[in-house]
Structure 1
Amino acid sequence: MLKKIKDYDFTLIFTPIVLAAFGLVMIYSASMVVAVVEGHDSTHYLVRQSIWFSIGLVAFVLCALFPYRYYQKLMKIIIIGVIVLLAGVLIFGTTVNNARSWFVIGPLSLQPAEFAKLALIMYLASVYSKKQNYISQFSKGVLPPLIMTVGILGLIVLQPDIGTAAIIFLIACTVIFSSGIRLKHLMLLMLLGLTIVALALPSMITETRIDRFTGAYQPFQAPDSGGYQLIQSYLAIGVGGLTGEGLGQSVQKLGYLMEGHTDFIMAIIAEELGFLGVVIVISLLALIVLRGLFIARKCKDSFGSLLAIGISSMVGIQAFINLGAISGILPITGVPLPFVSYGGSSLLVLMASMGILNNIAMSVNKEGTRHETEKRNNVATTEREIHRGGKRWVNYNR
């Protein structure tokens, strides 16, 4: 049992848990006033996120124990299940922030698009790992999985949830690129993607999205509308300085900065804990991504390697888009900060993903231990044979 525990990656055990626990503290700090204004107890959002955190810990343990190679056998069930959920939410879902993206189950809300991220990573990793022998053939090795990818993206765009669709698209590109696709095929896919975006762009342009772009790149021209949220984020970040105003001392959370406990939680962290708090959070997120890529590099199984790359890219891309939005580099898309922002579905999927990554790491470590044992045994056998040979040589000369 102890040997099995040692095979897990403790960096990928403690880092996500520390980030999620820190997220609970910051969610409470950022949401207590909002919760009271909405007529709830000050711990309303903390309690909900704590429930999801507990469920996430269970999912983490189960996924860490479940052999990752079995997901290939369950792939049809997983992908059909996600498609049913995405189609179902368009019919029976609840509309939040102009998007029909949620199933409301009692006090909790479930967002199927979050589960689609992990399901698509598994699907692409499974399919492309089986197509390695003819990955250089576009029509046979590259194109078929893209049909499923476009279908899932289409269901998410219909909600509409452009932010999640963009994340899934970038994750899919990362997995496909890592599978060994030829450069000219990659360029062809990029051209195809740009063509689809160009054709769909007229129907996607709305006044709200135009305000988001204007607010991101010219916020002070619309300080009371599209640029308001970003200006408040700038104020929070600027006031924080090096060490911040102190935990719980944010002014922006008092009704000035909306969504402070979700998309803009990093702005509250900057205000209360300063530049040092921001650096620590980003460093922990970077550690998860880099550790995942290290495991992908060490994994000899192509499915496990692509799966680790997909999970790592999911965390990295989502963090980049969130941080880009609060700093004005990217338009505001409603993407939460991994592990830290309020959002149960996101946290559950991320914790399950870390469990899967740990299972891959355990497989890699066991394989490495086995090779080291074989190497030591081979060296010991060789030494014994040399020793015996020397004795025979000495006896013969006598």
Structure 2
Amino acid sequence: MSDKKNKRRQKKRRFLVLNKDGYYDYSLLAVVVLLTCFGLVMLYSTSAYVAEARFEDDMYYFGKQAAISAGGIVCMVIISMFDYHILKNFTTFLYAAAMVLMLLVLSPLGVTVNGAKRWLKLGVQFQPSEIAKIAAIVCISYLIVQMGKQIQTLRATVVLLGIGGVLGATAYLATDNLSTGIIICGITWILVAMASPYTRYFVAITAVMFVLLVILVQILKFSIDTAESGSFRVQRVLVWLHPEQNSDAGGYQVMQALYAIGSGGFFGKGLGNSVQKLGSVPEAQNDMIFSIVCEELGIFGGALVLLLFAYLLYRLFFISQNAPDLFGSLLVAGIMIHIALQVILNICVVTNIIPTTGVTLPFVSYGGTSILFLMAEMGIALGVSHQIKLQEVEEESRKQIAVSGQRH
């Protein structure tokens, strides 16, 4: 009987992380919890009036988000206790599940919210495109490790880009979610560029694509009128170029968000004192919540939020740099790329640097599916950190101190 018990314990230990050195990135855990708590405070401040008007309950949005966030934090800690290498066994399943679930949005199971059919209802309502982001990170990381030296060939690079590209294209075509498609393709592009010996070519191609995009925008600006355009995407670009002239064609939300940011000044009007959240900025608790942050807390408050995200990315970079193997390093790098892209796109949309697209601000915007899968990603990153040897971390810290000393 004792032999059977020992065998069962050994099987469990294969999946659980038992790091005798005791390293765990509590700094990452702390900044995630801090951002989540800040997001809940801002969510209540932003959504209380609208929730009272729609549902006669000012805690409607806050209550749902708080419950999901608490559950997400618990899941994050639990996931961090498991060996991240078990993800290698689920790469094919994750990729297939993400594809199937996104395609199911086109079926009667798909749910339309605010004019967009991006949700799926299978007992609970969720966005399958969020699963696709994790699938892209895990699958591309795993394939890079499996290919080994073959990653140096052009064929392997094309295959990897194709796998990520198909997932991104499905997210766009099946769920009509261009922003998620861009994020998935961005994650794939940067991960492959990091692992490939053709990094300089990736940089050159990216620069050329950016120049061509600028030229295309200029052509649209001078050759097509907003009223004449039949394409929804083209209309968004034209509205972005002149939002003040197209307030009735989609520029209203952006203009009101810019008014909110401008009226907040440096230190803001004070928490809870936003005027634009009283219906002027439609669905402010979602994509445009950063504009209310700036109105109530000012540019100073907005800068502090960005500094928190910068520190979050720094901790992810640190874990990726010190990960015990290439798979762990790529996993955390993919998570870092995802967070960075989503924050950049959201801030750029709110400040009208790029055309409007549905990208939430991680840990701050309202959205149950988003917060759950973000917490799952943070759990994976913490799981990687849990396998870093404490001695290696101390050596890396000494190297950083030595380098900074030489500079001075």
TM-score bin (small chain): 0.7 to 0.9
Larger radius of gyration between Structure 1 and Structure 2: 1
1:236·1:271 contact (CA, 8 Å) conserved in 2? yes
1:131 aligned counterpart, secondary structure: helix
Match of residue 361 from structure 1:
385
Match of residue 52 from structure 1:
68
The farther-off stretch of 228-237 and 362-371 is: 362-371
1:173 aligned counterpart, secondary structure: helix
Post-superposition CA distance 1:344-391 (Å, at most 9, x none):
11111111111111111121234627999xxxxxxxxxxxxxxxxxxx
Partner of residue 12 from structure 1, selected from 11, 28, 31: 28
Shift of 1:96: 2.1
Match of residue 283 from structure 1:
307
1:132·1:179 contact (CA, 8 Å) conserved in 2? no
Structure 2 residue 118 is the aligned partner of structure 1 residue 101: yes
Partner of residue 375 from structure 2, selected from 351, 354, 357: 351
Match of residue 267 from structure 2:
243
Match of residue 130 from structure 1:
146
Post-superposition CA distance 1:273-292 (Å, at most 9, x none):
11121111101111111221
Structure 2 residue 59 is the aligned partner of structure 1 residue 35: no
Shift of 1:40: 4.0
d(CA) in 2 for partners of 1:63 and 1:206? 47
d(CA) in 2 for partners of 1:282 and 1:187? 26
d(CA) in 1 for partners of 2:293 and 2:245? 26
Partner of residue 334 from structure 2, selected from 310, 313, 318: 310
The farther-off stretch of 40-49 and 310-319 is: 40-49
Alignment of 1:54-203 (within 5 A): 54-91=70-107, 92-104=109-121, 109-139=125-155, 141-158=156-173, 159-183=175-199, 186=202
1:138·1:185 contact (CA, 8 Å) conserved in 2? no
Match of residue 377 from structure 1:
none
- Structure 2: 5+ residue stretches without partners: 1-16, 221-228, 397-408
Match of residue 270 from structure 1:
294
2:161·2:189 contact (CA, 8 Å) conserved in 1? no
Shift of 1:69: 1.3
The farther-off stretch of 143-152 and 88-97 is: 143-152
Residue identity in the other structure for 2:112? T
Match of residue 244 from structure 2:
220
2:167·2:184 contact (CA, 8 Å) conserved in 1? no
d(CA) in 2 for partners of 1:192 and 1:83? 30
d(CA) in 1 for partners of 2:261 and 2:195? 39
Structure 2 CA distance for partners of 1:193 and 1:74, relative to 1, 3 Å = farther
1:7·1:366 contact (CA, 8 Å) conserved in 2? yes
2:120 aligned counterpart, secondary structure: strand
Shift of 1:186: 3.4
1:156·1:162 contact (CA, 8 Å) conserved in 2? yes
d(CA) in 2 for partners of 1:238 and 1:188? 37
Q: TM-score, normalised by structure 1?
A: 0.84
d(CA) in 2 for partners of 1:318 and 1:328? 15
The farther-off stretch of 182-191 and 128-137 is: 182-191
Shift of 1:3: 7.3
Shift of 1:190: 6.0
Structure 2 CA distance for partners of 1:3 and 1:134, relative to 1, 3 Å = closer
Residue identity in the other structure for 2:164? T
Shift of 1:100: 2.0
Shift of 1:206: 5.0
d(CA) in 1 for partners of 2:284 and 2:319? 34
Partner of residue 343 from structure 2, selected from 319, 331, 345: 319
1:175·1:306 contact (CA, 8 Å) conserved in 2? yes
Corresponding pairs, count: 363
d(CA) in 1 for partners of 2:363 and 2:271? 19
Residue identity in the other structure for 2:383? N
Q: TM-score, normalised by structure 2?
A: 0.82
1:215·1:230 contact (CA, 8 Å) conserved in 2? no
Post-superposition CA distance 1:136-164 (Å, at most 9, x none):
1121x223333332322222112211111
Post-superposition CA distance 1:236-259 (Å, at most 9, x none):
111111111111110001110012
Identity of aligned residues (%): 34
2:19·2:387 contact (CA, 8 Å) conserved in 1? no
1:214·1:227 contact (CA, 8 Å) conserved in 2? no
1:103 aligned counterpart, secondary structure: strand
> Cα RMSD (Å) of the superposition?
2.7
The farther-off stretch of 264-273 and 84-93 is: 84-93
Residue identity in the other structure for 2:152? S
1:129·1:179 contact (CA, 8 Å) conserved in 2? no
Partner of residue 322 from structure 2, selected from 274, 287, 298: 298
Shift of 1:86: 1.3
